[in-house]
Structure 1
Amino acid sequence: MTDPNFLASPLRSWAEKTLGPLTGVRRLPPGSSPAAVWHVVRGSDNARFHLKTAPSPGAFTRETFAYRHAVPALGPGNAPRLVATSARHLAMILTPLPGTPLSQARLTETALQTVHWRAGMLVAELHQAGRPTPTARREASAFLSRLADAAARHTDAVGDQLSSAERKFVTSLADHLRVLDRLPLGFVHGGGVEAGLRWSGAARPALQDFDRARFAPVVVDFVHLAHGPWAERPRVRAAFFEGYGRTPSAEEQQALRCLTGLHAVRSLAGGLVREDRAAADTARTVLDRLKSEVGV
């Protein structure tokens, strides 16, 4: 049986050339990112690091760019620090963050509001980090259209789980998303903010996993939150935007409604494939709520 903590020799050799001999290697459970991550310990001083290998060259490029050009704006302790990278191995060495994923933390309603308020401030700093090049700005402007184009594929994947009326509703959301073109752009996390947040009981949560980070309409970072913790907690949503510094514009609210519906269909398709009943049920609940809001 293969050791789950096994680290391939070329990758380990690079890590030890960078850090020094390692005395501990432990593969971490899958998290919000599809990357493989090992917790490693340096023998000389017992310092801890995370060794992360990206799932693709694109993910490696996005994440290393984020750590070099945007993440420093979050401030010390609010995100991992990039120690070293290897394009050959699609690998990076990062400092670890304390605590647990926010999605797994058991918090009171009041505490959750406080954490989301501070998370709003953190996300605002990320969105304002850096300035896009002309090419990045063009790609950011086309990002929502690409998400809209994927809607048909996800709708087909769920088969008869959607009625004819629901299919038309999803198509209308995708069509509307394509014509929303006055949306604020920024540097987004892109991978589901709540899943990337870690909480250790400190005054401010920290953010990790930037392999989907890019310049895009900032509203995309609100989708997973609207699909998850905000769905039944309007005060948590309000606290986030109080920390963020502004509420979404009318066009952003329209885009968020469209994106949340498309995300629900994508989540429903994924839940059916994985036979994850809870994920599929959540997706159905979100989709039904959106339908009721517009009278479908």
Structure 2
Amino acid sequence: MTDQNSLAAPLRSWVEKTLGPLTAVRRLPNGSSPAAVWHVVRGSDNAQLHLKTAPSPEAFTRETFAYRHAVPALGPGNAPCLVATSARHLAMILTALPGAPLSQAWLSENALQTVHWRAGALVAELHQAGRPTPTARREASAFVSRLADAAVRDADAAGDQLSSAERKFVIALADHLRVLDRLPLGFVHGGGIEAGLRWSGGARPTLQDFDRARFAPVVVDFVHLAHGLWAERPLVRAAFFDGYGRALGAEEQQALRCLTGLHAVRALADSTYGDRAAARTVLDRLKSEVGV
């Protein structure tokens, strides 16, 4: 049986050539990202670091771009820092930040609102980081349309979990999404802000896992929260956008509603993508709003 805490010899050789001898290596549980991550300790000074191997060259390129060109805008201590990279190994060495996923924290309503206010401010900094090239801007503008195109495949894959009326409802959401063409663009986290936020006590969260980061309509970063926590905690949602610095525009609100419905269908179609019970609740709520 392979030791999950061990590193392949070529990868370990690169890490130790970069950092010096390691005194500890521990594989971390899989999180929101499909990447493999190890907690490593450098022997010379006991520095705590993370070694991350991307699942694909595209993910490696996205994440290293994010750490070099966008993440520094978040400020010291608000996200990991990039220490070294190896395109050959699709590997990154990052500083390790304390804490656990914010979604796992047990916080009072007031504390949760405070943390989400600060999270909103953090996400605003990310969204405003950098300026897209003309090519990136064209790709960003087409991103939501690609999500709409995927909705038909997801509805087919959901099979009998959707009634005929529900399938028509989902296709209508996708069609409406395609005509929303004035959505503000920015540099998005892309992997679900809720999953990327970490908390270690106090009021300041941190943000990590940028392997899906890209330029896109900023509203895509709010879908996971709208699908889950915000549905039951409207004051937490209000605190987030207070920290974010603006409310969503009318077209963004429509897009978020459509994207939340499409996310629910994707979760119904693929149990590894999300919670099917929660997805059914979300879809039923959206249907009731329009009388389907």
Alignment match, 2:265 = 265
Give the equivalent residue in structure 2 for 1:38.
38
Any stretches of 5+ residues in structure 1 without a counterpart?
none
Which residue is equivalent to 1:139? 139
State how far apart, in whole Å, the 1-side matches of 2:97 and 2:229 are.
Answer: 22
Corresponding position: 1:291 with 2:287 = yes
The offset of 1:83, in angstroms, is 0.1
Alignment-derived partner of residue 226 in structure 1: 226
Deviation track 1:67-116 (CA, whole Å, cap 9, x = no partner) reads 00000000000000000000010000000111110011111111111111
Identity %: 86
Shift of 1:203: 2.6
Counterpart CA distance in 2 for 1:169 and 1:181 is 21
Structure-2 separation of matches of 1:115 and 1:229: 13
**Superposed counterparts of 1:24-63, under 5 Å:** 24-63=24-63
Partner of 2:211: 211
Task: List runs of 5+ in structure 2 lacking aligned partners.
Answer: none
For the residue of structure 1 that corresponds to 2:18, the secondary structure is helix
Letter in 2 for 1:160: D
1:57-76 alignment runs, 5 A limit: 57-76=57-76
SS of the residue 1:72 aligns to: helix
Q: How many Å apart are 1:23 and its aligned residue? A: 1.0
Q: Name the CA distance, whole Å, in 1 between partners of 2:25 and 2:207.
A: 23
1:115 aligns with: 115
For 2:268 and 2:235, the matched residues in 1 are separated by 26
Query: Using the alignment, how far apart are the partners of 1:186 and 1:100 within structure 2?
Result: 27
Aligned Cα root-mean-square deviation (Å): 1.0
Note if 1:9 corresponds to 2:5: no
CA distance in 2, matches of 1:244, 1:23: 41
Deviations 1:115-155 (A, max 9, x none): 11110000000000000000000000000010001001111
Which aligned pairs between 1:134-173 and structure 2 lie closer than 5 A? 134-173=134-173
Aligned to 1:180: 180
Q: Offset of 1:202 from its aligned partner?
A: 2.8
Aligned residues: 292
Deviation at 1:270, TM superposition (A): 1.8
Structure 2 SS opposite 1:231: helix
Q: Aligned partners of 1:262 and 1:143: how far apart in 2?
A: 14
Q: What do the CA deviations read for 1:21-57 (whole angstroms, capped 9, x no partner)? A: 0111000000110000000011111111000000000
**Which stretch shows the higher mean deviation, 262-271 or 168-177?**
262-271
Give the whole-Å Cα distance in 2 for the aligned partners of 1:293 and 1:121: 30
Q: Structure 2-normalised TM-score? A: 0.98
Aligned-partner SS, 1:115: helix
- The TM-score with structure 1 as length reference comes to 0.97
Secondary structure of 2:229's counterpart equals: coil
Whole-angstrom CA distance in 1 between matches of 2:168 and 2:94: 45
Runs of 4+ in 1 over 6 A off after TM superposition: none
The amino acid across from 1:235 in the alignment is: L
User: In 2, Cα distance between the equivalents of 1:77 and 1:269?
Assistant: 38
In 1: Cα distance, 2:162 partner to 2:108 partner: 35
Alpha-carbon distance in structure 2 between the residues aligned to 1:93 and 1:202: 27
